[in-house]
Amino acid sequence: MAEQTKQIQKKEPKFKFSDRDKRLMKSYIFQLYRAIVLGLHFWKLVRKVH
Amino acid sequence: MAKVVIVGAGFAGHYGALILQDALKGKGDHEITVINRHPKFTYIPSLVWVGVGQMKAEKTQFDLKPVYDKLGINFIVGSVTEVYPDDQKVKVEFKDGGSKEVEYDYLMIATGPYLNFEATEGLGPEKGHTSSICSPPHATETASKYLELVSRLEKGDRAKIVIGMGHGTATCQGAAFEYICNVHNDLVDRGLRDKVDILWLSNEPKLGDFGIDGLEAKRGSLIYTSEMMAEGLFYDYGIDYEIQTHVRKIDEKKIYTENLEGEFKEFEYDFAMLIPPFKAQPIKYIDKDGNDITSEICNPAGFVKVDANYGKPYEELDGPDWPKTYQNPKYKNIFAAGIAFAPPGPLSKPSKSPNGTLIGPAPPRTGYTAELSGKAAALNIAEMIQGNDPIHTASMAETPGLCVASMKNKIFGGMAATIAIYPVARNYAEYPEYGRDLDMCAAEIGMAGAWFKLALHYAFLYKLQAKPFWKLIP
């Protein structure tokens, strides 16, 4: 079985996070808001099975 | 009086024991016995932090005996090696070489996985060359190897890190994804990231598949996928990736792979953390005549068959085929939950390379899914003890998957991907377009996820120690 070593090819992503996305990921106020929204979302899903 | 034996004390077995004890309270003098290989419960999701040296393994564990003593549950530390379904007893072997038999009226198998490092030559920390974060000792050893690498980097060395899956059929991609992100961010914080090439090596059919056939979520008018999320993230993190890949063997310097196109490749590494494939814990099932009937009770990997529709090809498999009550069809007093139950098929599309190598993730059924199946099995046993039929269900095609994938463990400035899918297994009979209810699905990266992840660590450890008001924590 012939082994071959290939260079890992750099792949161009179809999706990139925008600068705004990255800013919001680290914004305390926005993340506090998202924590509430996602927390309620999790709770809604959990209530389906408990 | 009914005797219930639960084999295993992980998410399914331990939570099942708590639920069963609670369900049988005031309903007769019943006996629950939990048999586990280890005296401690481990909160596996936090081992990712142990593996980068940010948490001690002890912080993810607690002793089971005090919890069971408090609740009046018997506890045996040992390995169940044989089950006699006709005689309704199990054989337990102890580390000192001794053994004993334990009788049961109802049995729940919730053993968790056997880490099958032997599937790939050179895989694993014990007989191979790679690290693992699948158990507390493995994660602790991984941390020391990683920190050793860090000190070499601090002296000016460069290094290649490979993280991912150690076999074409391995599962639990989420854990490896968390680990690669935590390693990246830890190296960034240490100012060493530019000295390291990091590679994600995975058997996933597409990036962000995670063994659950990926996920879609609504983001305004856009359908946002886990593939987009993973691609965007790896681009930002400068992580290269090779997917649709099976690891054939590993030596001290290289990882030898084969991909779906049939190409054989080699990757050099200085540090590698690769998740092994899972198989069932080795338990033999023996009938009243002494015949080995394991193949009748279990699938070829040793997982216990339950009320699923087995034998369908991937393309025909749908929501209604997934098990609901987790009851064995042959022995109605045997249930299996968590990783121990045999799934009807994979969630992600399996494929074969031109050389005939199977490459496709096995279905994950860890964490919350394991807990839900353990709960359903426990409640069904409680129903049967009271003379009723098993009516409690927790099909993976009807229950949500909730996952918070840590990327950086800090309260201030931390990061995690918060993922919610409903249901876990695509159910086209119910949701014809995507097989899932996209209004119920979410995928988001941010600091809020890091808060959730930390909160879940403490909430689960609190709940599973049956501390006051534990039942309020879902």
Q: Tens of pLDDT along B230-276?
A: 999 999 999 999 999 999 999 999 999 999 999 999 999 999 999 99
Task: Closest CB to A48: pick one of B231, B400, B445.
Answer: B400
Provide φ and ψ at B110, rounded to 5°.
Answer: -145, 55
Task: Closest CB to B446: pick one of A4, A25, A49.
Answer: A25
pLDDT at A3 over 60: no
pLDDT at A6 over 60: no
Mean pLDDT score of chain B, rounded to an integer?
Answer: 96
What is the pLDDT at residue B255? 98
Residues of A in contact with B242 (CB under 8 A): 8
| End-to-end CA, chain B | 29
Average pLDDT on B439-454 reads 96
* Secondary element (H or E) of residue B186: helix B173-189
3-class secondary-structure state, position B82: strand
What is the pLDDT at residue A50? 73
A31 token code pair: 């993340």
pTM of this structure: 0.95
Which residues, 6 or more positions from B299, have their beta carbon under 8 angstroms from its beta carbon?
B305, B310, B342
What is the pLDDT at residue B157? 96
- What are the pLDDT digits (tens) for B342-360? 999 999 999 999 999 999 9
CA distance A29 to chain B (A): 10
Residues of B in contact with A13 (CB under 8 A): 231-232, 234-235
For B420, the closest chain A residue by CA position comes to A42
Question: How many domains does the structure of chain B reveal?
Answer: 1
Structural domain includes residue B72: yes
CB contact under 8 A, A26 and B452: no
Task: Closest CB to B232: pick one of A17, A30, A39.
Answer: A17
Rounded CA-CA distance B261/B230 in Å is 22
Task: Closest CB to B446: pick one of A3, A5, A34.
Answer: A34
Q: What is the CATH number of the domain that holds B334?
A: 3.50.50.60
Structural domain includes residue B432: no
Structural domain includes residue B357: yes
pLDDT at B298 over 50: yes
- What are the pLDDT digits (tens) for B139-177? 999 999 999 999 999 999 999 999 999 999 999 999 999
Average pLDDT on A7-27 reads 86
- What are the pLDDT digits (tens) for B333-342? 999 999 999 9
B interface test, pick of A15, A21, A23 with most B CB neighbours within 10 Å: A15
Structural domain includes residue B417: no
Beta bridge partners of B443: B419
Compute chain A's Rg from CA coordinates: 20
Structural domain includes residue B94: yes
Q: Does B256 touch chain A (CB under 8 A)?
A: yes
Residues of A in contact with B451 (CB under 8 A): 31, 35
Average pLDDT on B84-103 reads 97
Structural domain includes residue B82: yes
What is the pLDDT at residue B354? 96
CB contact under 8 A, B442 and A1: no
Residues of A in contact with B449 (CB under 8 A): 38
How sure is the predictor about B366, in pLDDT bands with cuts at 50, 70 and 90? confident
Rounded CA-CA distance B407/B184 in Å is 8
Q: If you count DSSP H runs as helices and E runs as strands, how many of each does chain B have, helices first? A: 9, 27
What is the pLDDT at residue A4? 44
- What are the pLDDT digits (tens) for B207-222? 999 999 999 999 888 8
How sure is the predictor about B138, in pLDDT bands with cuts at 50, 70 and 90? very high
B interface test, pick of A41, A43, A44, A47 with most B CB neighbours within 10 Å: A41
Structural domain includes residue B120: no
pLDDT at A2 over 80: no
Rounded CA-CA distance A44/B7 in Å is 32
Other C-beta atoms lying within 10 Å of the C-beta of residue B428? 15
How sure is the predictor about B188, in pLDDT bands with cuts at 50, 70 and 90? very high
pLDDT at A49 over 90: no
Rounded CA-CA distance B277/B323 in Å is 22
How sure is the predictor about B49, in pLDDT bands with cuts at 50, 70 and 90? very high
Task: Closest CB to B400: pick one of A10, A16, A45.
Answer: A45
Structural domain includes residue B449: no
Task: Please report where in the chains the tokens 């953390």 appear, as a residue.
Answer: B273
What is the pLDDT at residue A9? 63
Question: How large is the ipTM?
Answer: 0.88
DSSP letter for B164, please: E
Cα B129 from chain centroid (whole Å)? 22
CB contact under 8 A, A8 and B451: no
Count of A-B CB contacts under 8 Å:
95
Other C-beta atoms lying within 10 Å of the C-beta of residue B220? 6
What is the pLDDT at residue B365? 87
- Range of the structural domain that residue B334 is part of: 3-115+278-385
CB contact under 8 A, B448 and A38: yes
Distances (CA, A) of A15 to A12, B231, B239, B434: 9, 7, 15, 21
Other C-beta atoms lying within 10 Å of the C-beta of residue B256? 19
Average pLDDT on B275-285 reads 96
Beta strand B159-165 pairing with B271-275: parallel
Residues of A in contact with B229 (CB under 8 A): 15
pLDDT at B37 over 90: yes
What is the pLDDT at residue A1? 39
Q: CB–CB of B173/B204 below 8 Å? A: yes
Distances (CA, A) of A31 to A20, B226, B442, B451: 13, 20, 15, 10
Q: Does B448 touch chain A (CB under 8 A)?
A: yes
Other C-beta atoms lying within 10 Å of the C-beta of residue B65? 14
Residues of A in contact with B234 (CB under 8 A): 13
